[in-house]
Structure 1
Amino acid sequence: MIARIFLPFAIGYFLSFLLRVVNAVIAPDLVAELNLSAADLGLLTSAFFIAFALTQLPLGVLLDRYGPRKVESAFLLLTAAGALLFSWAETFPLLVLGRALIGFGVSACMMAAFKAYVSWVPKERLALINGCHLAAGGLGAIAGTAPVEFLSELMGWRGVFVVLAVMSLVISVLIYLVIPRRGEVPASESITKQIKDYGLVFKSSFFWRITPFTVMSQAAFFSLQALWSGPWLRDVAGFDRGVVAWGLTLIAVAVFTGFLVGGIVTDWLRRHKISPITIGFYGMFLCMIPQALLLLEIDSFLMVSIVWMAFGFLGTGGYLIYPGLSQFFPSHLAGRVNTALNSFVFVVAFVGQWAVGAVIELWPVQASGGYAVEGYQAGIVMLLVAQFLGVGWYYLFPLMVKKYHQLNRAVERIKGA
């Protein structure tokens, strides 16, 4: 199972995460070559997220209908096309289109694996194998830092994307040929019925209790880790490009460790009846501490590394919500449950990454060519406020539901009278 199911999907997620974070390293090249503003850079990079988000609801139906092997291998062909277009594009609109195609293509890499694991892995071990799968994404985040910087110096950022296009094609073929066909029975339900079943997810009060905080936390994590961490290290901490690349590598190592430890700890704590959602919630809550520390102007490499690595480690807590949430629904809805949550996460991640760039741009560019420290501080404050609202919603939601039911009962009594 490890060789024929886990590894192919894990390699796909490795590529997905690499492509998600690669712009944090090549951002200076993109800005210099295409004369991009902070808002342009935010929009370009976040096009990945909005494209990713737009696929999620139909992706859930496709996964539950045609199976993860066929769906992910087909989607990765779009990734290859998007990476090639990105490597060739000379204008901003074509770059955005290429980035969006990449987002469309890799949008199945996590959801397809989670769907497959529900079918192949005992329910009580899902958190562990999901954590190992996410750890492969952490390795992709590591590969998207110093190794990409090395390749970029060797062959330019356009050459890097040609390599990524070839990787996408190879992984697509690997998944299609290696994943077993067993259990690939076409869904007996009509597509209309499958779409209607999303109502079972969206009518769940528990789904609406945990989703806002998860969405806000993940949006902050994606916005900072996938793009603005690199510019922050350059403009706020004052590091040169080589040191920035190594700083990003340390963050990626922390992300990898967070994914792996999260899966192992969750698997252990399930024996004590502690839900992955509980662990994920407190991980997301604690992740706000290093974000608050980023408001300080820290210039020590050691302290900067500790704060950013804590952010990377704790930011992975949001991913534990997925296996926890899917356990509240029938297994045949697994694809739709996870993609329903993911659709909200990536829409808000798109808005968040772009909005941080727009906020940064409110301050004039510095004489050094970098962005103002105050702009980064304002952007991070915006993300923190959104997360605090999500926490408040989580704790107040049960009270609002209780009041709603009390009001309904009162109305029914009045009607009966």
Structure 2
Amino acid sequence: MCPEEHPRQIPLDPHRWFVFGTIAAVYFFVYFHRVAPSVIVPDLMREFQADATALGVMASMYFYLYALEQPLVGYLSDLLGPRRVVGIWSLAATAGCLLFALSPTLGWASVGRGLIGLGVGGVFIPGMKAFSQWFPKAEFSGLVGLFLAVGNLGALCATSPLAWMAQTAGWRSSFLFLGLVTLALALVILTQLKDSPGDLPASGLEEKSPPMALPNMREVVFSARFWILFSVFFGVFGSYGTLQSLWATPFLMSSLGMGRLQASLVNTLLPLGLILGAPILGRWADRIGATRRELLLGLAWTQALLWVILALGGVSGAWSACLVLFLFGFTAGGLATSFWGVVRESTPIQFMGVTTGLLNPAPFLGSGILQVATGAVLDRVGRTGETYSPLAYESAFLVCLGAALVPSLLALIFRKRIYPRAQSPSSGEYSR
């Protein structure tokens, strides 16, 4: 046989688990920081005398910078290697944590929040590249699932544990501590991690992807399918991210009179539901023979229905709040699984990299915009004392309902566009 017929095997070096563990530890903080503002909203409003619009702008800085840098992070992961990208970007996240903790004004807190988003935005893509170089293909899917579980564990810890830390030591001391932990991880990665077994270049273990072609990007951007999928990811997942990362805890405190610790404990049902929903709903769809497109549509409409319940004041007690938030997380987990399944099944292989890179920022942009919009609605309705009234939150949730409902309706009407008759770019079907 020719040498090309023998794919090069990835050595099963024990260092691979050190690589996974350290990058996963940093990824823990990606999700942690994504939802952390929700727990400390009362502290920030009191500390900076800020209204909901200003807090929405501050919290959204994470999502804007995270989303916009993704194409650059992918390019630099190939150019510099995962070790440098994760390590250097973690230093940026460290600087953001420290600045956020020491910020004298909300403006400086917003800069710190933006630096955090910029820093943690350099973890997922180089992490995937590192794992592809250290682990064989047969282990890769399970590894990615474990990686995502660690991330959602971070979201869990950004609820009650963070609330306890903020109540015990103060929110500033809590973020100083988090910054020091992130700094330690960054130094370990920069000094101890290897990009690939035996310090081989990445090209020794996997083929390099061809450069992104501008015609391919045009083909994707001008396709109806891309915008249907983008709108679903932007609106449905963006509204879910707005609830989880900013308003869930203060909403429960206002509507049900919960203390911060109790509200943040109930809030843990969002990431817990997501952790369970992704594998369970994915396996269920396979067993009953449902297509991923049908599952995607059903879950998108379920999310819209849950927003109807919140917007119409359907949460009247602790048990109903627990059920609604768990269902939000559970269906969001299945939505994420089915979404990327639809993308994989409906996208020609030559467009896969371009499509993934362009779709990935959608939920972060959606959350960033919706956080500001919902904050503006809260301010328009007004406060009752130091908090916003249940009516104010219900009015703000109407914005999220619209953001989830419109793309769900578009996806239902144009569902046949998601799976075109042909996937060959030469046939012109991709852009129809």
The alignment's TM-score, normalised by the length of structure 2, stands at 0.81
Structure 1 residue 384: Cα displacement: 1.5
Conserved in 1, the CA contact under 8 Å of 2:299 and 2:334? yes
Conserved in 1, the CA contact under 8 Å of 2:241 and 2:363? no
Q: Deviations over 1:289-325 (max 9, x none)?
A: 3222213253321111111111122222343223652
Letter aligned with residue 298 of structure 1: V
Q: Deviations over 1:42-73 (max 9, x none)?
A: 11111111111221232232334444343222
- Give 1:407's aligned residue: none
- Give 2:389's aligned residue: 372
Structure 1 residue 202: Cα displacement: 2.9
Q: For residues 179 and 378 of structure 1, what CA distance do their matches in structure 2 show?
A: 51
Superposition map of 1:178-193 within 5 A: 178=193, 180-182=195-197, 184-185=202-203
Letter aligned with residue 178 of structure 1: L
| Worse-matched range after superposition: 89-98 or 294-303 | 294-303
Conserved in 2, the CA contact under 8 Å of 1:127 and 1:276? no
- Given candidates 232, 245, 248, the residue that maps to 1:213 is 232
- Give 2:357's aligned residue: 339
- Given candidates 412, 427, 431, the residue that maps to 1:395 is 412
Q: Deviations over 1:164-221 (max 9, x none)?
A: 1122223334444335414523997897x56775446435553333221121111101
Letter aligned with residue 326 of structure 2: M
Structure 1 residue 112: Cα displacement: 3.1
- Give 2:381's aligned residue: 363
- Given candidates 325, 329, 334, the residue that maps to 1:312 is 329
1:154/1:343 CA distance change after superposition, 3 Å? same
Conserved in 2, the CA contact under 8 Å of 1:24 and 1:228? yes
Letter aligned with residue 392 of structure 1: L
Q: Runs of 5+ in structure 1 lacking a partner?
A: 403-417
- Give 2:9's aligned residue: none
Q: For residues 198 and 172 of structure 1, what CA distance do their matches in structure 2 show?
A: 34
Please state if 1:237 is matched with 2:237: no
Structure 1 residue 79: Cα displacement: 0.4
1:244/1:237 CA distance change after superposition, 3 Å? same
Letter aligned with residue 127 of structure 2: A
1:36/1:135 CA distance change after superposition, 3 Å? same
Conserved in 2, the CA contact under 8 Å of 1:238 and 1:299? no
- Give 1:350's aligned residue: 368
1:5/1:249 CA distance change after superposition, 3 Å? same
Q: For residues 108 and 337 of structure 1, what CA distance do their matches in structure 2 show?
A: 19
- Given candidates 34, 38, 44, the residue that maps to 1:24 is 38
Conserved in 2, the CA contact under 8 Å of 1:86 and 1:98? yes
Letter aligned with residue 193 of structure 2: V
Superposition map of 1:40-55 within 5 A: 40-55=54-69
Conserved in 2, the CA contact under 8 Å of 1:131 and 1:264? no
Superposition map of 1:122-133 within 5 A: 128-133=142-147
Please state if 1:291 is matched with 2:310: no
Q: Deviations over 1:99-122 (max 9, x none)?
A: 000001111333333445566667
Q: For residues 72 and 144 of structure 2, what CA distance do their matches in structure 1 show?
A: 22
Conserved in 2, the CA contact under 8 Å of 1:128 and 1:266? no
- Given candidates 6, 17, 34, the residue that maps to 1:3 is 17
1:326/1:59 CA distance change after superposition, 3 Å? farther
- Given candidates 78, 85, 96, the residue that maps to 1:82 is 96
Structure 1 residue 230: Cα displacement: 0.9
Structure 1 residue 95: Cα displacement: 0.7
1:190/1:290 CA distance change after superposition, 3 Å? closer
Structure 1 residue 80: Cα displacement: 0.5
Letter aligned with residue 87 of structure 2: S
1:153/1:199 CA distance change after superposition, 3 Å? same
- Number of aligned residues: 398
The alignment's TM-score, normalised by the length of structure 1, stands at 0.83
1:136/1:215 CA distance change after superposition, 3 Å? same
Q: For residues 124 and 107 of structure 2, what CA distance do their matches in structure 1 show?
A: 28
- Give 1:92's aligned residue: 106
Q: Deviations over 1:342-372 (max 9, x none)?
A: 22221221100111110111112113x2112
